[in-house]
Structure 1
Amino acid sequence: MASLSRALRVAVAHPRQSRTRSLGPCNLSSTAGPTAEKSVPYQRTLKEGQGTSAVARGPSRPLPSTANVVVIGGGSLGCQTLYHLAKLGVSGAVLLERERLTSGTTWHTAGLLWQLRPSDVEVELLAHTRRVVSQELEKETGLHTGWIQNGGLFIASNRQRLDEYKRLMSLGKAYGVESHVLSPAETKTLYPLMNVDDLYGTLYVPHDGTMDPAGTCTTLTRAAAARGAQVIENCPVTGIRVRTDDFGVRRVAGVETQHGSIQTPCVVNCAGVWASAVGRMAGVKVPLVAMHHAYVVTERIEGIQNMPNVRDHDASVYLRLQGDALSVGGYEANPIFWEESWHAVKSRTRAAGGLCLKTSTVKSCALWSDDLRRA
C-alpha cells in the first residue's frame, strides 16, 4: 500500500553476493553487528541436518514387505495424511521420509493459522485443524504441539478492505469463530507498537495463533503410530512401480527405496516442493510449481511479547510473533522460482517498517527461504 511505502523507515542493505554462500547472519541495517547463535532460530536444527547422508545412516526401522498405503513425505502434509488415515481406521499405512520428519520445507514455515477465509469450506477445514492441533492431539498423546494462541489481526488500509473484513466477521459468526472489527484507536490499544495513522480499521480474531511445525508433526505421527501406522525416516524413495491391469488401467504396484521395496496398491504423494519429481516416478504430471518464499527474523523487540500475528493483504506482508521477536514475510506479485535473494523480501520489510514502528529500526537476525538455505 502506498502509504506504507511513504512511511518507510527500514534501511535495507543488500548483502554482497559470493560464489560460496555463507551461513553467517545478514542484517537489515548496515550498522548491524554479528548475531549470537542463540538469537537465530533453527540454527541448531540446520546444523543437525548436515553431515551423514540418509543412505549411510540407513532406515530408522526395517521396511515392511507390504503396506495398504504408502505416504511419501514426512512434512506437514504427510504427517497430517498419515494421522487422518490411521484415525479413519486404515491399517497398514506407512510414511516414508527421505531424511527426518520436517527436514524439507516444513521445519521453517511460519505456521500461521488464520481461521477466517472467504470460503466456507476453508473456514471449516481451518476450524478442524485448529481443534486437532490445539486440543485433540494433546489429549491423544500427552504431548504439547507447540500451539500458541496469541490471536490474529487483519489490517484494512482502505474502505473496501474493511468492508471485506466485516463480511468475514459475519461468515465467522455462522461457524462459531469469534472476531471483532476494531477502529484504529482500538487497534492501537490492542497493539501499542502498531502504526495506525493510515488504517481504516482491523479485524481481530482472538483464537487465531501459531503452530510449531516440528512439534505438530511429532504429535501427529505419535498419534498415528498408536493406531498402527509406521513412520520410516532416512529412507529416500527412488521409484514407483506401476502395472497395467486386465482393463488397461495403470495402477500402483509398489514403491522402491534405497533400502528395499514395499508392495502397495496405493501411494499418497505428500512430497511438497518435490511432488513433481515423485509424480514423474509413476508417469504422472503434478501441476505444481515451487515458488520462492522468504522471511526475516528480527532481533529482540521490547514490548512485542504476546502481541497478535498481523496480516496486511494489500501490502502482502505478515508479522508473526516469535517469542520476543518477529518473523516478517510476504508473497511476491511476481514470484521468484527457487532463487534466493534479498530482493524477495526487501519490499516486505519496507511495508513492515511502516506497519509496526519497532521494525523500522530493529536488526535482522537471518533471512530464511523455502529451500532450506539461509542467506
Structure 2
Amino acid sequence: MTVTKALPPSAPAVIIGGGIIGVSTLYHLAKKGMEGAVLLERKQLASGTTWHAAGIVGQLRESSAQTELSKYTARLFTELEIETGQATGYKQNGTLHLALSDIRAEQLLRNQDHAARMKIESRILSVEDINELWPLVDTSDVHCGFLVPSNGQVNPLDVTQALAKGAKARGAQIFENTKAIRILTRNGKVVGVETDQGVIATEKVLLAAGMWSLRFAAEHGVTVPLHAAEHFYILTEAIPDLPRTLPGLVVLEERLYTKEDAGKLLIGGFEARGKAWGREGIPESFEFDELPFDMDHVEPVLEKFFTRFPALETMGIQTFFNGPESFTPDGRPYIGPAPEMPGLFIAAGMNSNGILNSGGVGLTMAAWMTEGQPPRAVASMLAARAHPFQKNMAYNAERVTEGVGLHWGLHWPGRQIETARGVRRVPLHDRLLAAGAVMAERIGWEVPMYFDLENPSWTERASLGWQDWSERVKAECFAARDHAVLIDQSMYGKILVQGPDAVKALNRVSGAEIDVAVGTSVYTQFLNEKGGIEADVTVTRIAAEQFMVVTGHPSQIRDQTHIRAHAEHAWRFEIFDATSAYGLLTIHGPQSRAILQQLSADDLSNEAFPFGAAREIDLGFARVWAIRRSFLGELGYELMISSEFTAHVYDEIMRAGAPLSLRHAGMFALGACRLEKGFRHFGHDIGEEDTPIETGLGFAVKLAKEGFVGREALMRQKQSYGAATPHRSVSVLVEGASAETGPYLIHNEPVFKDGALVGHITSGGWGWRLNAMIGLASLNRENGVTKDWIDEGRFEVQVAGKLYPLRVQLGAFYDPAGTIMRG
C-alpha cells in the first residue's frame, strides 16, 4: 500500500504510533482546537497490540486522580458512537471480581469503600448471587464477589476507528504506512520528525509507539523502560443461550479473566512468570501478527481455566491466541514530558490496560501538550520517574517475565520483585546483609526494609495487617525512641546545583527562601504554576555557590528536570547528579548525639549545632556533612559521606554505638515513625494537585519572596481562604484499634463526619511509639476545614465496610511541639 497524500511541511504536533493511545491523543488535541496535528503509523492503525486487546473497561484505580481518568474513559466510550456515527461495540455489562481467600475478600470490601467515595456504583455479592448472575463458574471455594455494573467492554478496533474519525473531522491528519525514522533536534530541543516519506517540522512530538518505544527512545538517548511479553487467551465456540449482558469476570488469585464475546467466552490469564518476546527487536513486517501458542507454557493456566469453568469440558475451543503486550518494570505507564528532550512527550507502557487507559491518557496528553500541565495528578505514572539505567535491554527483558505476573495476582506489603535484582547497591550493601537486612527493590535499588538476623527473608504469608516482621519493626521503632537507630538512605537522590546563579535557579522553583547562610539546611517544596507540590526536598547550602538537594530516590531525575525547565537560559549554573558520589546514613534517637560526639572533636551540642543546621565535621578519619534533621521525629542527624569513606564511617558509628544499644532500622520503621509525626510523604500525602497551604506545609513557604513558581496561585489561595482552605491534611488515630487485629489504615479509606463523606486516608499504619493505628487524611469542607470544625469530633473511618471512631487533629500525635528532635 502506498501513501496517497503528501506529508505537510509542518504541524503543531506529531504523534508517533497509531495504537489507541496515540489516536486518542490526536482526537483530544483536535477537540482542544489544535488544527493540523499529525499522526504517523508505520503500518495500519491498531496493528500492534491494540487490535487483539480484550477490551475490558474498568474504572477503579489506585488513586482518586487515576480513577477519575478511567471514569472519563468509560464516559467517552458511551458518547463516541453518537458523536462520530462509528460503532464502538461498547456495552456496560459490568465486571465481577471473585474472592477465594479472606485477604482478597477484605480487598474487595475496601474496593467497595473506595468505589462509593468515587461515586461508582458497586455491590458485594454472596455466592448465591454469583451463581445466579454467572452460572458457568465454579463457586465451591468462593468467599464473595464484587460487582461494578457500570464497567464495560469495547471492540478495540472499532473504538480506535471512531477516535480516528472524530479526530479527522476536526482537522487532524493520519498517515498510515509512514515510518518515523528519527526525531530531529536543535540545541537538544525537538524541531521535527524525519520519516520514510519526508520531514515534518514541529516543536512537539508524542511517542506512543507501544512495544516499539523502548528501542526508538533509546536511539535518541531517552529512557522509556518497557518490553513486550507474550499474552495468551482462548476463545470458545458459540455457547447456546449465553447472555450477551454477562459481566466480565476476574479471579485475581488464579490470574484469570473472561468476558462474553459475540456469543462466545474469551478467557485469558496473566501467568506468574511470562515469556519475553522481541529480545532482538520486533520484526519490520509485524502487523496484526499472532505468535505461536506455547501449550507447554500455558498448560498450568489452562488447567485453572477448565477447573474454574467446568462447562469448558464439553465446549469446543475455537481459538488459541497469543499476541504481544508491553509491560514496564513497576507495572505503571510512562506518560508526560521526556526529561532528556524538551518538546518530546511519552505515552507508552500501558501494561495491558491500554483500552481502559485510552480516554484518560489521551485527555491528559492533549492538555499537557497544549497547556503545559495535566488536568489531574499523574505522579506515579510520570515519565520522568525513569532512571537512565532502565534503557538496558536485558534488564527490561528479564523484568517483563515477572511484569506479566505483577499485573495480576494479590498485592500486599510483602509481595516482592524477584527478577533483575541486585542492580543498584548502596556502598554498605554487604554489611547490611550481614546485619540481617531484608531487602526490597525500588527502581533497581536494594533497599533495607527491616532487619532480622535469625530469618533474613520475606514471608510468603499474605496479609494486609499484622505481618511476620511486625515485631522486628516494633523493636526498631522502640530503639529510635529509647536509644538510637542507624538507617542507610544512600539510595536517596543527591543533586548538586552549583554556579553563580544556582541560588536563582533553586529560588525560582522553591517555596522557601534558599538564599541562606552557608551551613544552613532548608526544608522546601518545588512548586508548579498552580502552587501544587512537584517535589519535597531539603536544600543545604554547602558553599557560596553550591547547594545539595536531597530528595526521594524515585525523584532523582524528575527534580533535576523541574529545575532546568524553570530556569532562564542566561543563568550560569550546572546540575550534577551526585547520588552515587555520596552515602547517606541517618542516625536517630536520644543517644545519637553521644554516639557521634565520641567520633568527632567538633561541638555537636544543641547550642553549637541546632536543629536545621548543617556542618562539615570530622567523623572518625573522614570529613562528613552532617545535617540536624530527623524524618523519625527524634534527635537525629543526616550524614552525607563521600562513597569511599562510607564503610569506614559506618564501622566507627557501629563500634561507638554498640555500648549505647544502637541498632539498625529499615524503611518500615521510618515509615511508621513519620506517620506518628504527621510528616507528609510525597506521592501519598502530597502531590501535584496539593498546595503547601492545603497540606499544612505553609510554614515552608515565604510568600514575600518574589518570582517563584506558583507564588501567584498561593497568594490567591491565601487571600481567598486564609488558613481555612476547603482541603486540609490532618493527622488521624483510630480509636480502639490493635496491632494484631486492626482495623488497618492503608490508603483511600473514606472518612465521615456526622454520617457525611468529608475525606479519605492518604496513608496509614501502626504507630509503635504511640501504640495506635494512625495516619494522615485529606479532609474537604466547602466552608473551610477549620480547627473548631475538627475539634467538634464525630469523625469515623470506613475500613472494609465497617465504621470506626476516628480522632482527628491538625498537629502530630507524637511530640506535636517537636521538642524531642529539636532538643
**TM-score, length of structure 2 as denominator length:** 0.37
CA distance in 1 between counterparts of 2:190 and 2:251 reads 44
Q: Which residue number in structure 1 is paired with residue 221 of structure 2?
A: 283
Aligned with residue 263 of structure 1, among 197, 201, 208: 201
Do residues 309 (structure 1) and 262 (structure 2) align? no
> Deviation of residue 266 (structure 1)?
1.4
Q: 1:343 to 1:78 in 2, by over 3 A?
A: farther
Aligned with residue 225 of structure 1, among 149, 153, 168: 168
CA distance in 1 between counterparts of 2:32 and 2:300 reads 45
Contact between 2:229 and 2:324, CA under 8 Å: does it hold in 1? no
Alignment of 1:285-364 (within 5 A): 285-306=223-244, 307-338=246-277, 340=292, 341-364=294-317
Q: Which residue number in structure 1 is paired with residue 144 of structure 2?
A: 201
- Tell me the SS of whatever aligns to 1:197: coil
Deviations 1:34-53 (A, max 9, x none): xxxxxxxxxxxxxxxxxxxx
Alignment of 1:105-184 (within 5 A): 105-135=49-79, 137-184=80-127
> Deviation of residue 370 (structure 1)?
2.2
- Tell me the SS of whatever aligns to 1:292: strand
- Tell me the SS of whatever aligns to 2:98: strand
CA distance in 2 between counterparts of 1:220 and 1:202 reads 34
Number of residue-to-residue matches in the alignment: 310
Do residues 79 (structure 1) and 17 (structure 2) align? no
More strand by share: 2
CA distance in 2 between counterparts of 1:133 and 1:68 reads 27
Q: 1:119 to 1:330 in 2, by over 3 A?
A: farther
Contact between 1:60 and 1:232, CA under 8 Å: does it hold in 2? no
Aligned structure 1 segments of 4 or more residues deviating by more than 4 angstroms: none
Q: Which residue number in structure 2 is paired with residue 68 of structure 1?
A: 12
CA distance in 1 between counterparts of 2:19 and 2:177 reads 13
CA distance in 2 between counterparts of 1:74 and 1:186 reads 42
CA distance in 2 between counterparts of 1:101 and 1:60 reads 16
Contact between 1:82 and 1:224, CA under 8 Å: does it hold in 2? yes
Deviations 1:198-231 (A, max 9, x none): 1001111112111111111111111111222111
- Which amino acid in the other structure matches residue 254 of structure 2? A
Do residues 96 (structure 1) and 35 (structure 2) align? no
> Deviation of residue 100 (structure 1)?
1.1
Q: Which residue number in structure 2 is paired with residue 273 of structure 1?
A: 211
Aligned with residue 241 of structure 1, among 158, 161, 184: 184
Q: Which residue number in structure 2 is paired with residue 54 of structure 1?
A: none
Contact between 1:305 and 1:323, CA under 8 Å: does it hold in 2? no
Q: Which residue number in structure 1 is paired with residue 158 of structure 2?
A: 215
Contact between 1:330 and 1:345, CA under 8 Å: does it hold in 2? no
CA distance in 2 between counterparts of 1:120 and 1:357 reads 38
Q: 1:100 to 1:166 in 2, by over 3 A?
A: same
Deviations 1:317-344 (A, max 9, x none): 1012111111111112222101742244
- Which amino acid in the other structure matches residue 91 of structure 1? E
CA distance in 1 between counterparts of 2:312 and 2:3 reads 44
Of 170-179 and 72-81, the range deviating more from structure 2: 170-179
- Which amino acid in the other structure matches residue 297 of structure 1? L
Deviations 1:260-280 (A, max 9, x none): 111111111111011113213
CA distance in 2 between counterparts of 1:360 and 1:316 reads 20
Q: Which residue number in structure 1 is paired with residue 322 of structure 2?
A: 369
- Tell me the SS of whatever aligns to 2:128: helix
Contact between 2:15 and 2:40, CA under 8 Å: does it hold in 1? yes
Q: 1:172 to 1:60 in 2, by over 3 A?
A: farther
- Tell me the SS of whatever aligns to 1:290: strand
Contact between 1:138 and 1:145, CA under 8 Å: does it hold in 2? yes
- Which amino acid in the other structure matches residue 233 of structure 1? E
- Which amino acid in the other structure matches residue 243 of structure 2? Q
Deviations 1:46-81 (A, max 9, x none): xxxxxxxxxxx2225321110111101111111111
Larger Rg: 2
CA distance in 2 between counterparts of 1:260 and 1:328 reads 44
Contact between 1:292 and 1:369, CA under 8 Å: does it hold in 2? yes
CA distance in 2 between counterparts of 1:325 and 1:230 reads 37
CA distance in 2 between counterparts of 1:261 and 1:252 reads 13
- Tell me the SS of whatever aligns to 1:295: strand
Q: 1:61 to 1:367 in 2, by over 3 A?
A: farther
- Which amino acid in the other structure matches residue 47 of structure 2? S
Contact between 2:228 and 2:324, CA under 8 Å: does it hold in 1? no
Contact between 1:253 and 1:263, CA under 8 Å: does it hold in 2? yes
Q: 1:354 to 1:121 in 2, by over 3 A?
A: farther
Of 120-129 and 354-363, the range deviating more from structure 2: 354-363
> Deviation of residue 281 (structure 1)?
4.1
- Tell me the SS of whatever aligns to 2:60: coil
> Deviation of residue 165 (structure 1)?
0.8
- Which amino acid in the other structure matches residue 261 of structure 1? V
CA distance in 1 between counterparts of 2:130 and 2:324 reads 36
CA distance in 1 between counterparts of 2:26 and 2:58 reads 23
- Tell me the SS of whatever aligns to 1:170: helix
> Deviation of residue 184 (structure 1)?
0.5
Q: Which residue number in structure 2 is paired with residue 59 of structure 1?
A: 3
CA distance in 2 between counterparts of 1:143 and 1:298 reads 28
Name structure 1 gaps, 5 residues minimum.
Answer: 1-56, 245-249
- Which amino acid in the other structure matches residue 250 of structure 2? R
- Which amino acid in the other structure matches residue 93 of structure 2? N
**TM-score, length of structure 1 as denominator length:** 0.79
CA distance in 1 between counterparts of 2:48 and 2:237 reads 25
Contact between 2:193 and 2:202, CA under 8 Å: does it hold in 1? yes
Contact between 1:152 and 1:206, CA under 8 Å: does it hold in 2? yes
Instruction: Give the share of equivalent positions with the same residue, in percent.
Output: 36
